[in-house]
Amino acid sequence: MQFKVKEMFQVSVLLFGMAVAASARNEPAPAANQIVAFKQKSSGPVGFMTTSAGAPIEVTDTSTLNKNLIFNEFFMDSLTHLVRERIPERLVHAKAGGAFGYFEVTHDITHICKAKMFSKIGKKTPMAARFSPVVVERGGTDTSRDARGFALKFYTEDGNFDIVGFNTPMYVYKDPILFPTFVRAQKRNPATNLIDGNMLWDFLTLRPESLHMFLIVFGDRGIPDGYRHMPGFGIHTFEVSNEAGDKHFIRFHFIPDAGIKNLRSAEAAKISGIDPDYATRDLYNAIASGKFPSWTVKIQILTLDDVKNARIDVFDVTKVLPQDEYPLHPLGRFVLNKNPINYFAEIEQLAFNPANLVTGIQGGPDKVFEARRLAYRDAQYYRLGANFNNIPVNCPIQTKVFAYNRDGVAPVKDNQRDIPNYYPNTFNGPVPYKEEKHAELIQIYQDEANNFEQARELYINEMTKDERSRLVENVLYSLGGAIQSLQDRAVKFFTLIHSDLGSRIEQGLQVNRTGFNWDHDI
């Protein structure tokens, strides 16, 4: 195998430059020195080895040569556990970085929402955050061109409240029946086991509402420069209610206080080859060094009349709510100031569910939100078992749980001890509370998705000339390998978004066809 001297030189220069820069700043590398730091804070071995059942392990048991293996409990305990150490990988969002911190209220919104976590200015609520590329597997790269998950768990006194959002202000589809199709189209071809551009572009051109989000994915915002510089969005328009029972509707925006930064394709490709865990490492090192990342939290607020009179479906997750019509209102900020002590226990087992709602927040009335309430819960059952909410990182730490759920695969904790295990009962088991001014989620009717207008607005008014050029380049890089019929369909829809965009992509494809035989490669 031959290597290009120029490319090797460029990589060497980049590596050398990174090392020199770090040395010049004299910055510590907490992630690289974690195990060293553990030794330094320990006066010696933390204790004597035991089996998982607690039996002490004698030094002769650490060797198996010329001995009966089945009688060596250290060997048996270690080996049989090793082959069971992996749980099912998340179907999407498998690779991630995460941390813990707090949310603080900075502005009063009690006039629209009675959730206790928003009850007064200055109130702090502990929270967890998990950031993740959508498509790549667990061993993939942090700098792939992809959307990112932006998931937050708030440990409130009314139970956990989860916002399972994205780094894009809109989502891909309006009809949740498309979720399996969307995922499979981006995953590996079942025959070749390779990522297949034909599959992706077949989906995008069959469901052109997805192009609104993918203008961002293929644009300058498609590769965030680490998680600390990545914005987040709740995607859904949440229904909330106040103490009087009045309904309002809000969309969440999370704006990084360090500023929004993104990587260009060439830079991301270089980083990918050197440090595929770039974003995860950056987040860990920043927190460990005391440079705690923070985000300002803002919301768009709509009244029931706003919803009724809106010119768009404000619950359509493939659309954004225009900020000139529904301006941003400050709500608070969240700070991440604690790294996980054990990644598997605290981040891999961190289980999100849009159904984790609290009094005063009814959720989204759209079908995607309804489907996610089922899908996320079912995914956690599959990955972590029926008692996943008993895993410490998922426990509602500010309230006592009185559930009638019992038994099942561990962890069961105290399994609700001797409390009656059925409801209703007359033996003093837990009973439901009665909410004053109870609010029901509104029922809505939704048309088929159609958002070329907003995609056009994004292309013309939110992208500079240079950004539009890079968007075209990135689209061509992906679309250029697809068969011509898919290319022609894509050009048709890009033209519907804007004639300039369609024309530039069409011209770029024609140049590619002249220089390369794409069909032959396929």
Check whether 376 is labelled as a binding-site residue.
Answer: yes
3-state secondary structure of 34: helix
CB 300 within 8 A of CB 251: yes
Q: How far apart (Å, rounded) are the C-alpha atoms in residues 352 and 373? A: 10
Helix %, strand %, coil % for the chain, to 5? 40, 15, 45
Q: How far apart (Å, rounded) are the C-alpha atoms in residues 105 and 115? A: 12
Q: Which of 296, 361, 226, 288 is nearest to 100 (CA)?
A: 288
- Residue 243 to residues 158, 248, 351, Cα–Cα distance (Å): 15, 12, 30
Q: How far apart (Å, rounded) are the C-alpha atoms in residues 214 and 138? A: 22
Q: Which residues of 313-329 are buried (b: 16+ CB within 10 A; e: fewer)?
A: bbbbbbbbbeeeebeee
- Residue 328 to residues 152, 298, 515, Cα–Cα distance (Å): 20, 6, 48
Q: What are phi and psi for residue 383, nearest 5 degrees?
A: -80, -40
Q: How far apart (Å, rounded) are the C-alpha atoms in residues 397 and 410? A: 19
CB 276 within 8 A of CB 288: no
Angle at 408 between CA 404 and CA 409, to 5 degrees: 135
Residues marked as binding for heme? 376
Residues marked as binding? 376
